[in-house]
Structure 1
Amino acid sequence: MSFIRKIYRGIRYHPRFYFMLPFGLMIGLILHNLTSWTWSTTVLVCWNSAISLYLLTTYLLLKDDDHQDISGRAERQDEGKWLIFIFVCFALAMCLFAIFVNLSHIPNQADLKYAHIGLSLITIGLAWLLVHTIFAIHYAHDFYIEFNKEQSGGLEFPNTPKPLYSDFIYFSYVVGTASQTADVSISSRKMRVLNTLHILFAFTFNTIILAICINIAASLITS
């Protein structure tokens, strides 16, 4: 019974995330019946469709939230957030595998070749945005959960005692691109642990992206 209750609470408090799963599967079924695409191409199109929907609805939902909205959402969505992150990591690994498969079977026709490469590049961009947006939401919610207890959230933004989602997105994207915290100071052990995990994840992900880009460049040179 408790397991069913957890599923219900997860869907209730994370509806956008759980809605993108059946949405992606629906796109996959449509493509499977209407096209003769390879499985890797179908997987990437499904992934891109689901992630685009998730990112769009997330940005629209968060853009007008003030610190009170963030604090309330943090308390409601705290349960199950790491399960979502683990699932995203698994899905991301499968997606990157599909990219490698997709690039290893690039057709000789010029238009199809560039379509395969373009699809892979779009997938990389959306995957990057997804990962670091989820980290930004983690930072925001952990910050306000700690702030409500200790009056200190663990991140110190210059002249911004009560940061908004846009501030956490800025912080997360800087870590994702440069593996450093720029002008934001970390003042709690919990945030240091999360930031260390983020930096390691970003380094690994960026290394994989570099390998994929080298693969793409090699396929263009040898064509």
Structure 2
Amino acid sequence: MMSSRAFLVLKTVFLLTTNLKSYQFSKVTALAIESTSGCGLPSNLRNMSVNSHTVRPSASTKSEDNIVWVDMEMTGLDPEKDHVLEVACLVTDGQLNILAEGPNLIVHQPPNVLANMNEWSLKQHKQSGLTQSSKNSEISLKEAETTLLDFVRKWTPYQMCPLGGNTIYMDRMFLKNHMPDFEQHMHYRIIDVSTVKELCRYTSPILFCYLNVNKIK
């Protein structure tokens, strides 16, 4: 099982999406949640976990209803000057059942690139070990793109499936600049979980509190 930051963030985003999809901000759920103290939940909600979705180990099936979920780690937030460090990917069907967990790739970056990351990235990626892993990696950016593209082509027809993730517009800008063939394979629409997060914050603040979705950056 992959344990990198990119993949863990992707799984957390997926947990948020599947849980909110299950309850759909219903008034009944909101009342049930708010009837408990603090951020406590009724027992049927308290046991929700990242394993609550269905993993379907099946042969590759292309469908325009599939969704490609991506999370990336970069040296900063400027796609013109910053660089890709890591990318994780998985594919679900339209009901958010995981069809396949894709490659988790750490891209090699030279010492001069790693030394010039922004302050947040320097601290975060040093703590997580990603800085050293990127320095040691033998995977080039082009090799990473080719591997990702080979994976999603097994599950998605050309320009038919949306890209999903948290603040995914940012990842897409980096994909467009640094992995253009992969980006062009995707449909122009995106599924941005940060939108779901904001809707949850406004419509079901107790659920928002319970899921700790504000920690998903």
TM-score, reference length from structure 1? 0.28
TM-score, reference length from structure 2? 0.29
Higher fraction of strand:
2
Answer with 1 or 2: which has the greater Rg: 1
